[in-house]
Amino acid sequence: MANLSLLLVAILALSLSSVIEATILKDFCVTDPNSLGCKDPKLVEANDFYFSGLHIAGNTTNPAGSKVTPVFATQLPGLNTLDISIARVDYAPWGINPPHTHPRATEVLTVLDGSLEVGFITSNPENRHFRKVLQKGDVFVFPIGLVHYQRNVGYGNAVAIAALSSQNPGVITIGNAVFGATPDISSDILAKAFQLDNTVISYLQSKF
């Protein structure tokens, strides 16, 4: 029973440490898999602020032809409470990072290699589409919460680094959220929302 209790404490701590807030009340608050809240500062070491391997290309052999390698607080516990994170994105030729939002972060994308078409769309009623083709060394901003995307428009692979203004920005891929929800959203709702007949909706739901 005591072991159970310890286990319970540890499990609950895991979920707790990733929700506590970002106003800094200490120099840092490293997530600790075995404790509540911050890791004991005496046990914190340089490796808690360290992540390796971001030079390794992600595997883009998938329908979208792209791969995101996140370095969020889950991967880098020293980021906890510090309101920032990064990610590497790889794109096969013509690969896309499909339309998505980050509910908790603005994104700043820097192209390390290749050519990317990027864009975001503003909220109602304008739904303005801001679009740009980026080359190596170009930087673009996707404001918090807005739908945005990237596409490789060069001949080879493309690579970018994204900086995000949250330790856990969240990703809502529109296709997955709308057509791939578990359980499905009623097809009547989606048929009406997208002005498609139920057959196309069912097809879409089978794909996601």
Query: Considering the complex, what minimum distance in angstroms separates the CB of residue 156 from its own copies?
Result: 16
Nearer CB in complex with its own copies: 157/204: 204
Phi, psi of 88 (to 5 degrees): -105, 140
* 156 half-sphere exposure, CB direction, 13 A CA radius: 6
The size of the chain, in residues, is 208
Q: How far apart are CA 29 and CA 167, in angstroms?
A: 12
Query: Considering the complex, what minimum distance in angstroms separates the CB of residue 108 from its own copies?
Result: 5
Q: What count of other Cβ atoms lies within 10 Å of the Cβ of residue 137?
A: 9
Query: Considering the complex, what minimum distance in angstroms separates the CB of residue 119 from its own copies?
Result: 7
Query: Considering the complex, what minimum distance in angstroms separates the CB of residue 154 from its own copies?
Result: 14
Query: Considering the complex, what minimum distance in angstroms separates the CB of residue 46 from its own copies?
Result: 4
Helix axes 198-207, 187-194, angle to 10 degrees: 110
Do 30 and 78 contact (CB within 8 A), yes or no? yes
Sign of CA dihedral 89, 91, 94, 97: negative
Cis amide linkage into residue 169, ω under 30° from 0: no
Query: Considering the complex, what minimum distance in angstroms separates the CB of residue 67 from its own copies?
Result: 13
Q: How far apart are CA 157 and CA 94, in angstroms?
A: 9
What are the beta bridge partners of residue 101? 172
Do 140 and 108 contact (CB within 8 A), yes or no? yes
